Chains A and B, each alone.
Chain A
Amino acid sequence: MPKTETLATQSKPAVSAVEMGARQREISVSEFFTKNRHLLGFDNARKALLTCVKEAVDNALDACEEAGILPDVVVKVEAVANGEAPPPPSQATRFRITITDNGPGIVRQQIPRIFAKLLYGSKFHRLRMSRGQQGIGISAAGMYGQLTTGKPVRIISRTSPRSPAHYFEVQIDTKKNEPHILEKKEIAWELPRGTQVTLEVEGRYQKGRASIDEYIEQTIIANPHVRLTYVTPEGETKEHPRTYAELPRSPREIKPHPYGIELGMLLKMLQDTGGHTLASFLSGDFSRVSPALAEEICKTAKLSPRARPRDVHGQAAENLYKTIQSTKIMAPPTNCLSPIGERAILSGLYQQIKGDFYTAVSRPPGVYRGNPFVIEAGLAYGRGPEQAAESQEKKAIPLAEGEAEPSDNELARVIRFANRVPLLYQQSACVIYKSVLDTTWRNYGVAQSRGAAPAGPMVIFVHMASVWVPFTSESKEAIAEYDEIRKEITLALRECGRRLGVFLRRRERAHSEQRRRNIFDLYIEEVVESCNRLKSGRLATDKLKEQLQRMAMKRTGGERTDELLGRNGGGPHGLPHSIIVTPEGVEGEVPTVSTNGTAPAPAEAVEETPVPEVSPRKGRAARKVRGKPRAKAKPAKPTKPARRAKRRKA
């Protein structure tokens, strides 16, 4: 066979399987993310800077809240340069970020791994609502800093006033995804308790959309219980005081709901379980599966309830999985969620955004893929009385021929939050933004072009709280589209819109009456003066003016209109959880602010505790009950309680 021989000599493989095998090796997760840092939000210098701040602040807030401490966070961003004087912030390419919190601190042994090992953390393995989910964020930020500046992450942490503060300098060994400690020592630290993280990264500082400033502003809106001090790269210190002195209810950890898991997950759980029988595994490792229900599932799947979980695999496991999916199981508990709450949203919006009208809506919990979630929406409309007065003043300059008032076609701003974290990128990919576009705002008296956000001076706030927020990517920028989520968002937006519509119509009515009278009053002056001139100045002008004014009054409904307008026209009557700001003052229930940081009467905490084990159907009923004590707890305007009390009686 000479032919085969020649063939063999000709096509001698360049690389043999053995050689290829020698090249094949494991990829560490840190190596993967070094190459794919855009997946984590480090795609450009400006975004990277923001991501670093964001990850550190998220961690600080999560830690404080879990430990039950009202967060007190300092964010400091400074431009740095190697040796020389730092350039102005807008030109700088290197920044030092320092985030200090008053949280519980971190035990010494854990510090290196938390900050210099990817996918290491407390949050991934449990179903509990928190800002962080995967344990990538802060260590990825550290890795990014290491990659771009070569500087380690510096950490100071102290767990109590009695224990010493520990100082660490750590780097990540990207090959092994293991921490590498450069320095550790005990130091004196002025804070009795807390953690401070310092990162040095390459970045770009620019104000405007999706900037650090915007992130801070939005964080304050969704977290009015946080006191946040922000030292800008320009060296300016911005104090954001705590405006809502109540810690959000600590969310509980839950077990996975059977609807939310996949077959592979089930197989893994079967192997890892501590339960001795299949029935005890089902009822013990899942939420909403009672022993009776577990027996029933086993029966339907034609498996013995007393079988050892470890022995269930292959076809049997698949049958079990299918049976679980087709069995009717109660929706997961919702006490694992900690929504912001209507009052806190109102408070946040009211403090941060200037407007004439504010409202907030919390939806009852919903479920997608076995994960419970809550949608909350808020809305701030208008430019605030000060600005309105300002524009009035500006208009006082008479217009020349052909000159028109500048028309503003400002579109509404949508601010999105997931577990209290602002989402600043990929707006159009997010289910929240899509839901805003799909809502027909025109029904509520707001202009909206086809396929665009509503037009007007308006900020739309939407928050999704869930044990697992379905992000479209690891950098957590947009929420994926699930029908259940979309439906809840739409319902919340519609309720906000409905209230806005009532407000706008009411205001429009008041204005048009006022305008009518103003028109006559304005022109009376002119007519009387002209008549006087025609009469060569021999006219009893005051008498004529008074006669005409009295007629104008009579023709616009007389004084009764005035009274009606004043009394019934402006108040937020019939608009729950709304605030209306007028030049005369604020109408509605402005959430109380306690300046010294101590929590006010714990009315909110009590009422927010949901009835344990609620199904969505019951949840709605429970919420109705909740509404009443709230009204009682609130210090409303002096005129309000009387009417409110009457309504309660009726």
Chain B
Amino acid sequence: MAQKTRKTTAVEKKLIGVADVVINAAERRRDPTLAIPIRSLSNITFNARRGVLEMGKRKQARSFFNVGMAKKFMQTVLVADALCELQRANLTTSLREIYYRTKHTIKNSHENTLDTQDESDPLIEDLEVTLEALREELHVRAENAGSVVGPLVLVDDGDRVDCGRLGKGGYSVPSIVEPEYLQIKKCTADFVLLVEKGTQWNRLSEDKFWRRYNCILLTGNGQPPRGVRRLARRLHEEQELPVYVLVDNDPWGYYIYSVIKQGSINLAFESQRMAIPKAKFIGLSSADPEAYGLPRNVGIKLNDKDTARARELLGYTWFQKKGWQEEIKRMLSSGLKYELDALANKDFQYLTKRYLPRKLKEKDWLD
């Protein structure tokens, strides 16, 4: 390997640190142990002042000489090795490729190092939190699962991308949008509209909503991937654009909004770089059916899972604002959820021509 000329990056040093844990422990006849921050609700605090979720200090010990953990420990070291290989070769890869790269049969046995991808994915997250390195820094990318359109000019790998001249298909947001990879050249928009569903984003794009209201349209096709969230955050931060979130009226929609706003429970440590605490919830609100005269028959009955999830949301500290409690309780008491698509009941272009203009005019959003 021709590494002598290349400087060791900070992330690479962190990954080598995993090997040092083993070597130092063995030297002192100690059980090699990795301290991994716990990634669950119990180790999450909501920083009300900054408006983001923060990871607590609690950690779990993963030690090698414990029959229950030995395999996981071995796998963690293997994944660290694979990630380090990526650093040295300066390549990016997917979670699945990491799984294949690290899978092999252990010497003199019939056992695989990993059996399914479900085993390797959490290990990568473990390393992210343990080494305090973002997934992008580890050179692991997710799929390009988002689109953007609007008065925005980007530079991607030296190519100039004018998001206003890409028709209704828009630009596919890559999973790594750090300034090293993607630069914002020009942006004349007034705000960012993040839409949960690809179908509604298509509607808005087709109707050239962004041209009329001078905004950037973003979608993540469901739970927005990191690239989309990070891009929204950069537009918010660097271009000082307000971000509005348009999701379905159901508990999952609320949670998507909260992930964009405060960060997710699983990867709370990334909140500083991802969360947009000032993001606004523009719709679909549980008050809208009445306000916009949506008939009851376009609603969908809440199922048991929905109800349970909604009650969970009611308990989260970051949903304690009066407006939010009312919003969720109103949905629960009506017993119905509404999809964005239901607006088509009134008119195919109701969303573009009536709903959003009125919302923006009335400044009818939740914070």
Q: How far is the CA of A134 from the CA of B85 in the complex (A)?
A: 84
CB neighbours (8 Å) of B32 from chain A are 527
| Contact between chains at B67 and A547 (CB < 8 Å) | no
| Contact between chains at B22 and A544 (CB < 8 Å) | yes
Stretch with Cβ within 8 A of B (4 or more), from A2-10, A161-169, A528-536:
A528-536
CB closest residue in chain A, given B84: A534
A434-472 at interface with B (beta carbon < 8 Å): none
Q: Considering residues A395, A536, A539, which has the most beta carbons from chain B within 10 angstroms of its beta carbon?
A: A536
CB neighbours (8 Å) of B18 from chain A are 534
CB closest residue in chain B, given A531: B19
CB neighbours (8 Å) of A530 from chain B are 19, 74, 77-78, 80-81
| Contact between chains at B115 and A401 (CB < 8 Å) | yes
Known: A527-B73, A547-B26, A551-B31. A534 touches B112 (CB 8 A): no
| Contact between chains at A531 and B71 (CB < 8 Å) | no
CB neighbours (8 Å) of B113 from chain A are 526
| Contact between chains at A533 and B109 (CB < 8 Å) | no
| Contact between chains at B22 and A527 (CB < 8 Å) | yes
* Residue A398 is within 8 A (CB to CB) of chain B in the complex: yes
CB neighbours (8 Å) of A548 from chain B are 26, 64
Encode B11-42 as 1/0 by CB contact (under 8 A) with A.
00001101100110011010110000000000
CB neighbours (8 Å) of A368 from chain B are none
CB neighbours (8 Å) of A265 from chain B are none
| Contact between chains at B23 and A523 (CB < 8 Å) | no
* Residue A555 is within 8 A (CB to CB) of chain B in the complex: yes
Nearest CB of A to B16, in Å: 5
| Contact between chains at A534 and B19 (CB < 8 Å) | yes
* Residue A642 is within 8 A (CB to CB) of chain B in the complex: no
Among candidates B65, B104, B112, residue contacting A552 with C-beta atoms closer than 8 Å: B65
* Residue B105 is within 8 A (CB to CB) of chain A in the complex: yes
Nearest CB of A to B123, in Å: 12
| Contact between chains at A533 and B85 (CB < 8 Å) | yes
CB closest residue in chain B, given A403: B115
CB closest residue in chain B, given A537: B1
| Contact between chains at A522 and B111 (CB < 8 Å) | yes
CB closest residue in chain B, given A534: B19
* Residue A14 is within 8 A (CB to CB) of chain B in the complex: no
A391-437 at interface with B (beta carbon < 8 Å): 392, 395-399, 401-402
Q: How far is the CA of A544 from the CA of B16 in the complex (A)?
A: 16
Number of A-B contacts (CB under 8 A): 91
CB neighbours (8 Å) of B117 from chain A are 401
Among candidates A520, A522, A531, residue contacting B22 with C-beta atoms closer than 8 Å: A531
Q: How far is the CA of A522 from the CA of B32 in the complex (A)?
A: 16
CB neighbours (8 Å) of B26 from chain A are 544, 547-548, 551
* Residue B297 is within 8 A (CB to CB) of chain A in the complex: no
Q: How far is the CA of A534 from the CA of B82 in the complex (A)?
A: 9
| Contact between chains at A534 and B16 (CB < 8 Å) | yes
Known: A520-B70, A526-B74, A534-B84. A551 touches B109 (CB 8 A): no
Q: How far is the CA of A527 from the CA of B111 in the complex (A)?
A: 15
* Residue B116 is within 8 A (CB to CB) of chain A in the complex: yes
| Contact between chains at A526 and B78 (CB < 8 Å) | yes
Nearest CB of A to B116, in Å: 6
CB closest residue in chain A, given B65: A555
Among candidates B22, B74, B112, residue contacting A399 with C-beta atoms closer than 8 Å: B112
* Residue B322 is within 8 A (CB to CB) of chain A in the complex: no
CB closest residue in chain A, given B1: A536
| Contact between chains at A522 and B23 (CB < 8 Å) | no
CB closest residue in chain A, given B71: A523
Encode A542-568 as 1/0 by CB contact (under 8 A) with B.
001001100110010000000000000
| Contact between chains at A396 and B77 (CB < 8 Å) | no
CB neighbours (8 Å) of A522 from chain B are 106-109, 111
Q: How far is the CA of A544 from the CA of B74 in the complex (A)?
A: 15
| Contact between chains at B80 and A547 (CB < 8 Å) | no
* Residue B303 is within 8 A (CB to CB) of chain A in the complex: no
Q: How far is the CA of A544 from the CA of B27 in the complex (A)?
A: 8
* Residue B9 is within 8 A (CB to CB) of chain A in the complex: no
| Contact between chains at A523 and B73 (CB < 8 Å) | yes
CB neighbours (8 Å) of A531 from chain B are 19, 22-23, 77, 81
CB closest residue in chain A, given B108: A522
Q: How far is the CA of A522 from the CA of B104 in the complex (A)?
A: 13
Among candidates A526, A547, A555, residue contacting B106 with C-beta atoms closer than 8 Å: A526
| Contact between chains at B27 and A547 (CB < 8 Å) | yes
CB neighbours (8 Å) of B22 from chain A are 527, 531, 544
Q: How far is the CA of A533 from the CA of B82 in the complex (A)?
A: 9
Q: How far is the CA of A568 from the CA of B22 in the complex (A)?
A: 36
CB neighbours (8 Å) of A555 from chain B are 65
Q: How far is the CA of A396 from the CA of B106 in the complex (A)?
A: 10
Known: A544-B23, A547-B27. A527 touches B64 (CB 8 A): yes
* Residue A525 is within 8 A (CB to CB) of chain B in the complex: yes
| Contact between chains at A526 and B77 (CB < 8 Å) | yes
CB neighbours (8 Å) of B19 from chain A are 530-532, 534-535, 539
Q: How far is the CA of A532 from the CA of B1 in the complex (A)?
A: 14
Known: A398-B112, A534-B15. A527 touches B27 (CB 8 A): no
CB neighbours (8 Å) of B105 from chain A are 398
* Residue B5 is within 8 A (CB to CB) of chain A in the complex: no
CB closest residue in chain A, given B79: A530
* Residue A175 is within 8 A (CB to CB) of chain B in the complex: no
| Contact between chains at A533 and B81 (CB < 8 Å) | yes
Q: How far is the CA of A496 from the CA of B26 in the complex (A)?
A: 49
CB neighbours (8 Å) of A523 from chain B are 64, 70-71, 73-74, 106
* Residue A302 is within 8 A (CB to CB) of chain B in the complex: no
* Residue A519 is within 8 A (CB to CB) of chain B in the complex: yes
* Residue B333 is within 8 A (CB to CB) of chain A in the complex: no
Q: Considering residues A401, A520, A532, which has the most beta carbons from chain B within 10 angstroms of its beta carbon?
A: A401
B108-166 at interface with A (beta carbon < 8 Å): 108-113, 115-117
CB neighbours (8 Å) of A526 from chain B are 74, 77-78, 106-107, 113
* Residue B90 is within 8 A (CB to CB) of chain A in the complex: no
Q: How far is the CA of A519 from the CA of B27 in the complex (A)?
A: 21
CB neighbours (8 Å) of B3 from chain A are 536
Known: A544-B23, A551-B31. A527 touches B107 (CB 8 A): no
CB neighbours (8 Å) of A395 from chain B are 110
Encode A514-525 as 1/0 by CB contact (under 8 A) with B.
001001101101
CB neighbours (8 Å) of B110 from chain A are 392, 395-399
Nearest CB of B to A255, in Å: 66
CB neighbours (8 Å) of A532 from chain B are 19
A360-416 at interface with B (beta carbon < 8 Å): 392, 395-399, 401-402
CB closest residue in chain B, given A528: B22
Known: A520-B65, A535-B19. A551 touches B29 (CB 8 A): yes
CB closest residue in chain A, given B118: A401
CB neighbours (8 Å) of B78 from chain A are 526, 530
Q: Considering residues B74, B80, B117, which has the most beta carbons from chain A within 10 angstroms of its beta carbon?
A: B74
Q: How far is the CA of A44 from the CA of B261 in the complex (A)?
A: 81
Nearest CB of B to A647, in Å: 37
Encode B149-186 as 1/0 by CB contact (under 8 A) with A.
00000000000000000000000000000000000000
CB closest residue in chain B, given A404: B115
| Contact between chains at B84 and A533 (CB < 8 Å) | yes
CB neighbours (8 Å) of B106 from chain A are 522-523, 525-526
| Contact between chains at B71 and A519 (CB < 8 Å) | yes
| Contact between chains at B70 and A519 (CB < 8 Å) | yes
The 10 closest A-B pairs by CB, nearest first: A534-B19, A531-B19, A398-B105, A547-B26, A523-B74, A530-B81, A395-B110, A530-B77, A396-B110, A526-B74
Q: Can you list 9 A-B pairs with a CB-CB distance of less than 8 A? A: A392-B110, A398-B112, A399-B115, A401-B116, A523-B70, A534-B84, A535-B16, A548-B64, A555-B65
Binding site for A on B (CB under 8 A): 1, 3, 15-16, 18-19, 22-23, 26-27, 29, 31-32, 64-65, 67, 70-71, 73-74, 77-78, 80-81, 84-85, 104-113, 115-117
Binding site for B on A (CB under 8 A): 392, 395-399, 401-402, 516, 519-520, 522-523, 525-527, 530-536, 539, 544, 547-548, 551-552, 555
| Besides A399-B115, A522-B107, A544-B23, 4 new A-B residue pairs in contact (Cβ under 8 A), listed by A number | A526-B78, A530-B80, A531-B19, A551-B65
